[in-house]
């Protein structure tokens, strides 16, 4: 069994949200803070196991745990251990805002976490506070030191480009990775259901950053089969790398290899697609065959591309609901 859509794309990468709760108030995502919109509980560890086993049977090899903020779940280490033990899953990753990184990263490593992405939207403490609503930049940087001590070497930093906030910091970010072996990923701001005005004021084209990098001697790298959507670049004078995620670029969706499941068990074929297809009623061992078949039956519904250029954002009202 292989998850493949009508356009020949195969899906080996699952982004699994384990909660939609987030304790940050990032201005591009949750400027008013988290607002509970459902009484439905997030997937249990057992349900997560059944889900992961089904995707593994269908050829998925990488699972990224997302939120909201995954570390608000006290059982995150158990979730990591459970996913890492699923036959066929070769990599378990995590995306975090880092607020518990320093105190928990050793525990995550012991549970089997292979790698993580950390959100740092500014290297200026005041700007970081303006974007996230928290004065925790130094705490996150200290957490990075703890992560290296725990044995994490391939660390990726996520930075959402914002014209009115951090776009002028590109030189500072580049200077940071001159001696720091990190992959710094600039993410183009995407329009969602509730950020139209903010998007219009703050969108920065990733293509413009790419042009600058290429003109400065940065060279593109080949993507692996399980890689996410970032185009990565290296430079002989820099210890770190740059990644660009540019959803408005031509043919962005052509190499799509990932699916998403929400914290309540809904399969989303696209971040900017439909309202989600419920899988939760089949997340029991006795329904494994039916779950496998449902996944196969849903694949032809995936569209060739998103419709962000037409300002269609689908079910995504904010990124915390599906982890981006």
CATH assignment of the domain containing 277: 3.20.20.70
pLDDT digits (tens, 9 = 90+) for 210-268: 999 999 999 999 987 767 788 999 999 999 999 999 988 777 788 889 999 999 999 99
| Percentage of residues of the chain with pLDDT beyond 70 | 93
φ and ψ at 316, to 5 degrees? -80, 105
Cα torsion 245, 42, 274, 132: sign: negative
176 — pLDDT class (breaks 50, 70, 90): very high
Does any domain span residue 3? no
How far is the C-alpha of 323 from the C-alpha of 16, rounded, in Å?
Answer: 8
Does any domain span residue 1? no
Cβ-proximal residues to 41 (8 Å cutoff; 6+ apart), any chain: 264
On the 0-12 / 13-18 / 19+ scale of CB atoms within 10 A, 52 is buried
Q: What is the pLDDT of residue 312?
A: 55
DSSP class of residue 264 equals: T
Does any domain span residue 229? yes
Does any domain span residue 72? yes
Does any domain span residue 8? no
Total domains present in the chain: 1
Does any domain span residue 5? no
Mean pLDDT of 193-209: 90
| Percentage of residues of the chain with pLDDT beyond 90 | 78
Q: What is the pLDDT of residue 104?
A: 97
pLDDT digits (tens, 9 = 90+) for 74-115: 999 999 999 999 999 999 999 999 999 999 999 999 999 999
How far is the C-alpha of 217 from the C-alpha of 219, rounded, in Å?
Answer: 6
- Residue 33: strand, helix, or coil: coil
Q: What is the pLDDT of residue 274?
A: 66
Q: What is the pLDDT of residue 314?
A: 52
- Residue 241 pairs in a beta bridge with 183
Identify the CA nearest to 26 among candidates 247, 315, 324, 313: 324
Q: Which domain holds residue 87?
A: 13-321
Does any domain span residue 54? yes
- Residue 269: strand, helix, or coil: coil
Does any domain span residue 19? yes
Where are the extended beta strands (E) located within the chain?
13-17, 62-66, 91-96, 115-119, 156-160, 183-187, 219-220, 231-234, 241-245, 258-261, 266-268, 277-278
């Amino acid at each position: 069994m292989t998850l493949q859509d009508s356009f020949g794309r195969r899906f080996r990468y699952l982004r699994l949200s384990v909660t939609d709760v987030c304790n940050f108030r990032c201005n591009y995502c949750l400027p008013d803070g988290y607002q509970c919109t459902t009484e439905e509980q997030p997937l249990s560890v057992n349900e997560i196991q059944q889900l992961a086993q089904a995707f593994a049977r269908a050829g998925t090899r990488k699972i990224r745990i997302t939120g909201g903020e995954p570390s608000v779940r006290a059982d995150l280490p158990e979730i990591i251990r459970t996913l890492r033990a699923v036959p066929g899953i070769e990599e378990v990753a995590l995306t975090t805002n880092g607020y518990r990184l320093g105190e928990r990263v050793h525990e995550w490593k012991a549970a089997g976490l292979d790698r993580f992405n950390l959100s740092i939207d500014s290297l200026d403490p005041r700007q970081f506070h303006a974007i996230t609503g928290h004065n925790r930049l130094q705490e996150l940087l200290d957490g990075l030191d703890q992560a290296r001590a725990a044995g994490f070497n391939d660390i990726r930093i996520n930075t959402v480009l914002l014209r009115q906030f951090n776009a002028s910091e590109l030189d500072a970010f580049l200077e940071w990775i001159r001696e720091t072996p990190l992959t710094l990923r600039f993410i183009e701001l995407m329009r969602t259901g509730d950020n139209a005005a903010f998007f219009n004021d703050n969108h920065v084209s990733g293509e413009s950053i790419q042009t600058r990098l290429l003109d400065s001697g940065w060279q593109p790298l080949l993507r692996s089969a399980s890689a996410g959507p970032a185009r990565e670049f290296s430079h002989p004078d820099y210890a770190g790398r740059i990644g660009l995620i540019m959803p408005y670029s031509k043919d962005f969706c052509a190499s799509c290899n990932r699916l998403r499941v929400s914290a309540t068990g809904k399969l989303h074929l696209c971040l900017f697609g439909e309202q989600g297809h419920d899988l939760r009623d089949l997340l029991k061992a006795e329904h494994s065959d039916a779950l496998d078949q449902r996944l196969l039956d849903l694949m032809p519904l995936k569209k060739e591309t998103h419709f962000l250029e037409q300002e269609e954002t689908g079910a995504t009202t904010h990124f915390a609901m599906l982890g981006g």
